[in-house]
Amino acid sequence: MEEMAKRINIGLVGAGRIMPAHLHGYKEMMEKGIDNVRITAICARKPGDAERFRKRGEGPPPREPVGPPGDPLTAPHIYVYDFQTDMEVETHTDYRKMLRRGNIDAVAIYASVFAHHPIALASLEAGKHVLVEKPLAVTVKAGRKMVEAAEKAGLILGVAEVVRYGFRTRETKWVIDQGYIGDVQMVIQGSIGGYWSPDKIVAETPWRHRKVEAGAGMTLDIGVHLFNGLRYLCGEVRDVRSIVKTFEEIRVTRDKAGKVIDQVRCEVDDTFFTLINFESGAVGQVLFSVAGHGEPTGIPGGRIIYGSRGCIKGDTVIQDDGTRAGVTELFDKKASREVKEKFFPRGLTDPFALETYEFLRAIQEGREMETSGRDGLRDMAASYAMIESSLLNRPVRIEEVESGKLANYEKEINEYYHL
């Protein structure tokens, strides 16, 4: 296997339901000959959780997957020792101890969102590069502190924003950049209802519905995904005008017989409808709800982008003359070898592998990640701008929230964490 100049040792913090998806990404990297990384430590607050992912036969049994087919939370269980056998993996229940004792150069944070900023700030202070699951932090102010700390220390801070690294997003970016639909004019994306509707505890994790732990609801959890993809494809967002609601005040988990076995009072939003003005002059609408009764409704193809010469509906490009072609088909046939290597280096296709490899390359090359901490902060600002717009009943510019000038909603959370 080819080795880069310096091997990077990584400590993983958080061993929840998203961990298998990330570990499958590491596995693909190593199978593709990317040998400059080793997982040397796993830290999880609850005793036994880290061992659950280290080696077969250790720790508690694998968790039952939750979520609809294709969701990263349903990735099959996997152990580090399934793909890495030449390096001992320490386990910890305290990330501070891991930072002091662990053989690590970088930290990947897969913990709950309310834990992102204390772990990231401590890691940066200890001189470690940091990759953090989306969203960047529990509030914009917390995220801004992380970005400023990384810049001051000269360390890499990146966001594991899987949407940006998905094959459809990256191929669509190429199609737009090649001018197949002309200048972007309009975009619409979103859905109502689905697997967690109308009143289920999302991902069976009650903290997602508590304000000081989750920050916000779908505006943040899904909003950062939507804005990261749209900013990548359509350009920077100038302002948003939103309606944000909470329709289901109680969220529950039911057993197979339909009996309620857990419930939580929902303190955050479950629905948003938003109009977008892009800096380019393009306009858009995004909507999302996990409160829809009856049956779900989605935008055909997931996302529709209209340009001055045609449109992209999901994975299909339709031009004004009626020509139709698949996004993937165009990319496969027309993109150069150099372009394909740029978007999918080393033949990687798993978006979790791509985001981690980009993190490693950023460290090696001394540059920002494509999905840098500042990029993730912009996504958070757009997401929280939706809430501020709904509260104020006016359009909100993203810079108002990103700068901290407008932070009415998050004030309570910031005070809770003494930010």
Task: Tell me the CATH number at 292.
Answer: 3.30.360.10
Same domain, 121 and 191: no
Residue 311 within a domain: yes
In a domain, 188, yes or no: yes
Residues 187 and 283 in one domain: yes
Same domain flag for 184 and 281: yes
* End-to-end C-alpha distance for the chain, whole angstroms: 45
Whether residues 263 and 281 share a domain: the answer is: yes
All residues at 6 or more sequence positions from 31 whose CB lies less than 8 Å from its CB, including other chains: 83
* In contact, 181 and 312? CB cutoff 8 Å: yes
Q: What are the CB-based long-range contacts (under 8 Å, 24+) for 254-261?
A: 254/200
Whether residues 143 and 103 share a domain: the answer is yes
The whole-number pLDDT of residue 102 equals: 76
* 407 in a structural domain: no
DSSP 410: T
Number of domains, the chain: 2
Burial readout 360-378 (b: 16 or more C-beta within 10 A, e: otherwise): bbbbeeeebbbbbbbbbbb
Question: 398 lies in a domain?
Answer: no
**Do 219 and 276 fall within a single domain?**
yes
Q: Do 239 and 225 share a domain, yes or no?
A: yes
Of 181, 174, 128, nearest in space to 150 by CA: 128
List the chain pLDDT tens, one digit each, 419 residues.
Answer: 344 458 999 999 999 999 999 999 999 999 999 999 999 999 999 999 999 999 999 999 999 889 999 999 999 999 999 999 999 999 999 999 999 987 999 999 999 999 999 999 999 999 999 999 999 999 999 999 999 999 999 999 999 999 999 999 999 999 999 999 999 999 999 999 999 999 999 999 999 999 999 999 999 999 999 999 999 999 999 999 999 999 999 999 999 999 999 999 999 999 999 999 999 999 999 999 999 999 999 998 899 999 999 999 999 999 999 999 999 999 999 999 999 999 999 999 999 999 999 999 999 999 999 999 999 999 999 999 999 999 999 999 999 999 999 999 999 999 999 99
388, part of any domain: no
User: Do residues 215 and 114 lie in contact, with contact meaning Cβ atoms separated by under 8 Å?
Assistant: yes
- Do 214 and 109 have their domain in common? no
Mark whether 243 and 129 lie in a shared domain. no
3-state secondary structure of 75: coil
Indicate whether 136 and 177 sit together in one domain.
Answer: no
Contact 312, 173 (CB under 8 A): no
Between CA 260 and CA 332 the distance in angstroms is: 49
CA separation for the pair 9, 81 (Å, rounded): 15
Q: Residue 392 contacts by C-beta under 8 Å, 6 or more apart in sequence?
A: 408
pLDDT of residue 5: 59
Please tell me whether residues 254 and 106 are part of one structural domain: no
Same domain? For 287 and 359 the reply is: no
Phi, then psi, of 23 in degrees rounded to 5: -65, -35
Range of the domain at 26: 8-164+346-371
Q: Is 237 helix (H, G, I), strand (E, B) or coil?
A: strand
Is residue 415 one of the residues assigned to a domain?
no
- What per-residue confidence (pLDDT) applies to 6? 84
Separation of alpha carbons 29 and 40, rounded Å: 16
For the whole model, what pTM was predicted? 0.96
Phi (first) and psi of residue 375, to 5 degrees: -65, -45
